[in-house]
Amino acid sequence: MSISDAEAVVMDVLWRQQPLAAEDVVARLAASSEWAEPTIKTLLNRLLKKGAVRAERDGRRYLYSPVLTREAWVAQQSEGVLDRLFGGRVAPLVAHFSERGKLSPADIAELRRLIEGLDDDRR
């Protein structure tokens, strides 16, 4: 399921707390974005049509909850970046960040622990 960057912002609100009415989503995004209420409601409707969220009737309003989990979305996005930019390989991704000085000593230590854990699992 493909969701836009703008839709991902709305999803983030729902991943943090659910279910929420449209007006609650609007209120949470009002402080951090310049989107008008109709824009946010349009994004919610798009997500509903895509099946990323569901809506349950609650009196005269609808409460929205995510169907798409954050974990599934992150996995999809990660695989997409790896495929598009690095041919599906992790090593060139790590090399890219290493060459640009983006890996801190803590990052390097964590990568070592992860690799050692992979080695242990394969024995």
The confidence score (pLDDT) of residue 123 equals 64
Do 25 and 61 fall within a single domain? yes
Same domain, 20 and 47: yes
Instruction: Please name the residues in contact with 93: beta carbons below 8 A apart, sequence gap of 6 or more.
Output: 81, 82, 85, 86
Count the domains in the chain.
2
**CATH number, domain with residue 33:** 1.10.10.10
Q: Are 52 and 88 in a shared domain?
A: no
- Note the pLDDT tens digit of each residue in 36-83: 999 999 999 999 999 999 999 999 999 999 999 999 999 999 999 999
- Mark which of 66, 84, 108 sits at the end of a domain: 66
Domain residue limits at 10: 5-66
Q: What does the mean pLDDT of the chain come to?
A: 93
CA 94 to CA 97: how far, in whole Å? 5
Q: Are residues 10 and 43 in the same domain?
A: yes
Q: What percent of the chain clears pLDDT 90, i.e. is strictly above it?
A: 74
pTM for this prediction: 0.79
Residue 61 and residue 74 share a domain? no
Distance CA(55)–CA(67), nearest Å, equals 10
